[in-house]
Amino acid sequence: MKVIKKNQRKTPLFIHKSFKNGKLIAEGGNGTVHKCISKKKIYALKHPKNLAKQHFRELEVLMKISGHPNIIRFYGITQDWDIVLEYAYDGTLHDYLKRNPDINWVKKTRIATDILVGLSYLHDNGIIHRDLHPGNILVNRGVIKISDFGSSKCDDGVNSIDCLGVMAYVDPECDYFPRDKKSDIYSYGVILWEMASGHRPQNHLSPFEDIKNVCVPRKYVGLYKGCVSPRKERLERTEIFRHLNEILDEEFFNEIDSVKATMFTLIGAIMFSLIDVVMFPL
């Protein structure tokens, strides 16, 4: 395996011909992603439709932040500038939730926490994602991985205003304010709403919008509403972590109580069966 230097950091260079059995797993406006095998290991190979600035922007971000457990792992590039990434066996978060519609609130809260941990790592490294949604969050053997950094930007104080991304997840105030950490928090709040409702949002969410026909913990409702509130009232990540910990504690004990109730019901049924056998033998 050869090595090239970019921004004074060594980056592995994979030979394109070494990848076999390329299977298309995703396609977007900027390129395609294939599942490939090289030396008996499975990778995701991201191929650009053209060498636009988004591709090099993503490569630059990956070189800076790859290595965190909740960020998709970057392995290197090919001689054709394809990006070699970790393969996520469970697919996107959207697909994962669709396949597992009955996961409990403890699991959902842990997923929400892992997303926020990864997002916090980006923000701590001066990166604004700007296109956060369940299609750009992957799940690899149960572990959350934030991916797709083609729209990402360094938080350098430059006041560029744009509304790129999947519109239902984009901060509606981006028409008036630069995309920043608060914009990512809005997108995160919409993801929380989707995880609870089981549906993709059609339009921008209102902080007054409730989830219908689903039993949702009261604190969780307050959390997603706080994330999609107007910028001045929007929750900070320390507050979000506090809310998540409170929800996790509450739902964990609810799960224990539910298990206890089930056990007592089973024990009661067994005891009645034994009494019936003893008092009324065949």
Residue 249 designated active-site: no
Q: Is 73 in a helix, a strand, or coil?
A: coil
Q: Which of 80, 114, 124, 131 is catalytic?
A: 131
The string of DSSP codes covering 86-151 is: E--TT-BHHHHHHH-TT--HHHHHHHHHHHHHHHHHHHHTTEE-S--STTSEEEETTEEEE---TT
Pairwise CA distance, residues 104 & 96, whole Å: 14
Give the integer Cα–Cα distance in Å for 198 and 210: 13
- Strand 83-86 relative to strand 41-48, pairing: antiparallel
Pairing mode, strands 127-128 and 153-154: antiparallel
Report CA 33 to chain centroid distance, whole Å. Answer: 18
Between CA 178 and CA 231 the distance in angstroms is 12
The residues annotated as belonging to the active site are: 131
